[in-house]
Amino acid sequence: MITAEAVTLAQFSSAESAITCVVSQPALPRALVLPKRLVPTAMTPTQAAVAPAVTNTEGAISARPSQQTSADASVAQLLKLSNLNLNWDGYGAAKPKRSSINAARNFIRSLAPESIVPQPALHADGNAILFFRTDDAYAELEFVDQKIEFYARRGEVEWADELQQGGPLPVALSEIGFST
Q: Could you report the per-residue pLDDT of 1-58, keeping only the tens digit for each?
A: 566 565 555 555 554 444 444 444 444 444 444 444 444 455 444 444 444 444 455 5
* 107 contact partners, CB below 8 Å, separation of at least 6: 130, 141, 143, 148, 165
Helix (H, G, I), strand (E, B) or coil at 100: helix
The answer to whether 93 and 106 are in contact (CB under 8 A) is: no
Beta bridge partners of 154: 137, 157
Q: Could you tell me the sign of the dihedral formed by the alpha carbons of 13, 17, 19, 20, in that order?
A: positive
pLDDT at 12: 53
The reported pTM is: 0.62
pLDDT at 86: 93
The top-scoring range by mean pLDDT among 13-17, 18-22, 93-97, 164-168 is 93-97
For residue 150, pLDDT over 90 is answered with: yes
Tell me the pairing of strands 147-154 and 128-133: unpaired
Helix 70-81 vs helix 98-110: angle between axes, to the nearest 10 degrees?
Answer: 180
Determine how many CB atoms are found less than 10 A away from the CB of residue 109: 11
The residue-averaged pLDDT of 134-163 equals 92
Beta bridge partners of 159: 152
Question: Nearest 5°: phi and psi at 100?
Answer: -70, -45
Q: Could you report the per-residue pLDDT of 70-82, keeping only the tens digit for each?
A: 899 999 999 999 9
